[in-house]
Amino acid sequence: MNTSRRTHFEKLLLALTLVIPLARLGYAEPIGEAMGKAHELLKDHKSGAPAVGAAVEPGSNESRAELMRRAEVWSPTDVESADIAKGALGFSDLGPADTITCQYDAQRTAKAKTSSQTNTSSKFFCKDEKHGLFRVKYGDKEDVAQTAATKLAWALGFGADPKYNTTVKCAGCPDDPWKSLDPQGGGRGSKSDPSHVATFPLASVEFQMEKEAAAKGFTVKAIEEKEGQGWSFKEIDNMDGNIPDLKTHRDGLKLLGVFLQHVDNATRQQRLVCLRPRDSSPEAPCPKPFMYIEDLGSTFGASSGMHVGQNGKFSLSAWISNCVWSPEAPGRIGHLPGIKFHGSTLVNPEISDAGRQFLGSLLGRLSQDQIRQLFETAGVEAFSQTPEGGGAGVAAWVEGFNLRVKEIQEGRCLDAERSQLQSKVGTPKKK
């Protein structure tokens, strides 16, 4: 292990000794994050990942940093014509009122469990003839949040992995596939009864960007120096290349993160890829490096400052509890507190006025019907009837969405309007 990696690893061991007491007090997420980071470092050392700065694309001498310098985060799109219900892949049978039946992929599920950094989100892999292979997340209000957030990012022209919220009937699944792979769960998840069909109401059906890109004639290849490297918002600060409007688009993405309250924005949640026309040579330099947020599950809530917590995912009262802007610098500094021990990389970011106007204009092109569909197709009505939903239906979420859009467009905090809406939906639960 070279000196820099050894130093990093020593710091990590120290961090572990600090967060273990927190885990005993109930902060399970911090210890999971630290253990995940340890796993990453050890895997990196064993695999002999290329040195930082080495070329990562065939046919090119460009390093990851150089490719990132010219990477885009946005593609021109017709916002007004975006069909929110069908989403990026045009599926009309993956809504909250629909049910699909698929075949359990035990091997991929077991592999995901083995490689998972934190083992927190329950998930499994499934496939059917029409939709192909997809991942299913279940049993978490994150399922609602990420469906709405990814559809919004896609509709505005930012990258996203397509996600849908629907009921899944899985042939061959244990009733709880993810837990069944735990030692305490019997560890028999890959040996389930082929005749058994497990039902998962309003689960998140997730596809990778590769499926959308293929439909448009592109291939997608990860740009990384080690597996699952991702990228940090801090890395792209002051890294604007020579592409016109690149900073504006990146500031727009940062502000979208603030708008959504993308609180879990650690490096692994973002992805850097090469988009290449299918008929071009894979040995040629990358024609279009592209960055996007891969995991938008911890959105539409608010940070607790320590960990994601119950208010960090799809809580309307938490989402509207703060202005989009920092009270000290409205219109310039976004309000997005970091989360200790989660490796937050997007913390109260400074936003250029061009970036503010850019995102404000994109959001303003959405119709009220499209905004309503964001929440309807995410399953908000059913979720609102649960204890976590707190009775906040689609109409209330649309009102909160419009309030935050207006704060972006006007570059100021609308405290009176926020207080009025809060009186309707209540205050956040204690963290």
DSSP string computed for 349-374: -B--HHHHHHHHHHHHTS-HHHHHHH
pLDDT reading at 51 higher than 50: no
The Cα–Cα gap between 81 and 152 comes to: 13
pTM: 0.84
User: How confident is residue 94, by pLDDT bands cut at 50, 70 and 90?
Assistant: very high
pLDDT reading at 419 higher than 50: yes
Q: What is the pLDDT of residues 101-110, one digit of tens each?
A: 999 999 999 9
pLDDT value of residue 181: 86
User: How confident is residue 354, by pLDDT bands cut at 50, 70 and 90?
Assistant: very high
SS3 308: coil
SS3 78: coil
pLDDT reading at 100 higher than 50: yes
The Cα–Cα gap between 389 and 397 comes to: 11
Q: What is the pLDDT of residues 280-327, one digit of tens each?
A: 888 888 999 999 999 898 899 887 665 556 677 889 999 999 999 999
pLDDT value of residue 115: 76
Rounded to the nearest 10°, the torsion over CA 93, 125, 379, 82 is -60
Q: What is the pLDDT of residues 117-137, one digit of tens each?
A: 555 789 999 999 999 999 999
pLDDT reading at 418 higher than 90: yes
| Neighbouring residues of 238: CB distance < 8 A, sequence distance ≥ 6 | none
Q: What is the pLDDT of residues 60-81, one digit of tens each?
A: 568 888 899 999 999 999 999 9
pLDDT value of residue 341: 57
CB of 198 closer than 8 Å to CB of 188: no
